[in-house]
Structure 1
């Protein structure tokens, strides 16, 4: 008799930080039949591989939080819960996996009302409000940083790291770096995650001439929301909105300048790339500062508040690091030490344990 595959609904929506770990997990669960749950007109409509059917529900506006103080929010919550329940029942799903965000709330409630097992993955050092509220409702909460467990009393937590895209696990992709960067020159990579970082971009452009004078090249990934992205032109400066082969780029980099979203930090750690971190100051509950602290405390990165970072400070600290290859090497080793390259395997094993019956 042919064994019927387990059906799993993955609820992940909105940003690369939510989507990439879920996609990495899905690639490990080849024996499962997987469908996706997302929101119309968000990043999942572009990133989710075609082999995973995409179900969408309209929950725009619910991202304000879990407060039920207004009637419109209450109605949106109820409607989204009923929509997810309908998808789960009609599809005969046997479990849920979610990476948080506002789509997780109605998904967890719907799954719990049907008695389905739920695995939640939280990538940030400070779990989000949704994770803290719903964590105890879940069968297991996988965390990317061990420190996150202390903020989740009552939840069954397991530290597995955060899965990265498969390109980060195969060093052979280094050969695919198709940017015109000479061998042996110092390379600084600047990126702000899937949302970009306009304030950081401006500071980097103002600082870059001193780095060029020191012989460095800069690859600057500006995102697509920076109106001044093309304002700096220089032979040692490569500006792109995004770059697909981040694994090869970060392995080649001598130094990264980055926001401190969990996804970006995970990629830096797996590649062993030393970094200057500038947490996004308007992130919910300042969670990027908590993420950055994990790297700073082990000597993998230097962290600066955006409000305190000046042109002179950024310019000089980068020059100091470029002139200290031993320090950069040590920072890279420290970063690699906290990376979890087999995170997707560990998370898949947890899902099989919880949703394998």
Structure 2
């Protein structure tokens, strides 16, 4: 069989958060559109990510392996790391989970004989990547954030190519191995015209001339961000009679947020707030938004860029590696969004929101600048790279 007609097997791996897994879905669909490949997802054993499981049918196979997490907390001193007995114990336990994951991954790769392994990061990528290295299978990594994650830094030493979601200068990889492609996003997310925005507002139950503030703390929510928005909601709604708030709280926080809004708002204001724990049609609410208050997750920001949305970004300082802080620095450096510190008071956040809601010109300026960074063809670019690497790897192994 010639190379042009040969069916290629591609492993996609990544897990631990929706930010690692969500970009794999449009990439898998792009790969499958060619009809020339088998796409297998290797995820974390026991991983349960809200709303994504029903989309796994895009993969030809789904396998899971155990993996261990190396716990470290941004801003914590080296001494604190050494004296945190609980964290040390969990890291020690998870070391053995990594070993088990490597062995399980090795068995899977031995059976499937893939042509390339694609690592999106997350700690499940470590055992899969090590097993791929042992079996001399080409590895391609992809980092969405403005700094490479720990898993991809470990696996990346053996990678033949590093695809990135942000410009190459943000990464410490060898420059000749880096390809800036952007971040694959849900194919339903597209630039939003005024007409489309009005339609999204109507679908959400709002009039076309309402102002919509979307609050989004990520797929799992963000308690501190939720609490601040609830506390300032009365002032925001009273200052803007046409304002409607759509609050994506995270499913585990939904009931608490609903209860707090009910306690803090009279019935007239309360009916102008919609709280949603989780939705797989997030793009409709972001499409309706005039302003978004969000964390600094790279995938979310790529989605807002694709829709040309003005954003107030409140980066989480607690995530390992401080990657949201670095994402926010990149956004601030180029004037792509309004940045508000996680330590800012509710009143400071309120002032930032009111200022932008009251200034359409500034909102449109932010929206246009962020929109220029969109890479709506990221999945196509990545698929092409994976096919190229797969072809080269197959020829190389046959020549050995």
| TM-score (norm. length: structure 2) | 0.82
Q: In structure 2, what is the Cα distance between the partners aligned to 1:198 and 1:221?
A: 11
Q: In structure 2, what is the Cα distance between the partners aligned to 1:74 and 1:125?
A: 27
SS at match of 1:10: strand
- Quote the offset at 1:40 in angstroms: 2.6
**Aligned position for 2:317:** 281
Q: 1:324 aligns with which of 344, 355, 359?
A: 359
Q: 1:300 aligns with which of 336, 339, 342?
A: 336
**Aligned position for 2:223:** 198
| TM-score (norm. length: structure 1) | 0.92
Divergent runs of 4+, >6 A: none
Point out where structure 1 has 5 or more consecutive residues left out of the alignment.
Answer: none
**Aligned position for 1:217:** 244
Q: 2:307 aligns with which of 266, 271, 280?
A: 271
Is the CA contact 1:125–1:148 (under 8 Å) kept in the aligned structure 2? no
Q: Highest CA radius of gyration, 1 or 2?
A: 2
Is the CA contact 1:187–1:253 (under 8 Å) kept in the aligned structure 2? yes
- Quote the offset at 1:319 in angstroms: 1.0
Q: 2:145 aligns with which of 118, 121, 124?
A: 124
**Aligned position for 1:183:** 208
- Quote the offset at 1:75 in angstroms: 3.4
Q: In structure 2, what is the Cα distance between the partners aligned to 1:109 and 1:260?
A: 30
| Greater mean deviation of Cα atoms: 175-184 or 295-304 | 175-184
Q: In structure 1, what is the Cα distance between the partners aligned to 2:133 and 2:224?
A: 42
Cα distance per residue 1:132-175 (max 9 Å; x no partner) = 23323101111101156532247711111111011114869865
Q: In structure 1, what is the Cα distance between the partners aligned to 2:361 and 2:93?
A: 57
| Greater mean deviation of Cα atoms: 148-157 or 330-339 | 148-157
- Quote the offset at 1:104 in angstroms: 1.2
Task: Count residues with an aligned counterpart.
Answer: 354
Report 1:134-173 matches (<5 A).
Answer: 134-147=155-168, 149-153=170-174, 156-169=177-190
Is the CA contact 1:132–1:151 (under 8 Å) kept in the aligned structure 2? no
Q: CA-atom RMSD, angstroms?
A: 2.4
Q: 1:191 to 1:34 in 2, by over 3 A?
A: same
Cα distance per residue 1:218-248 (max 9 Å; x no partner) = 1000002225221214121111102322223
Q: In structure 1, what is the Cα distance between the partners aligned to 2:299 and 2:92?
A: 35
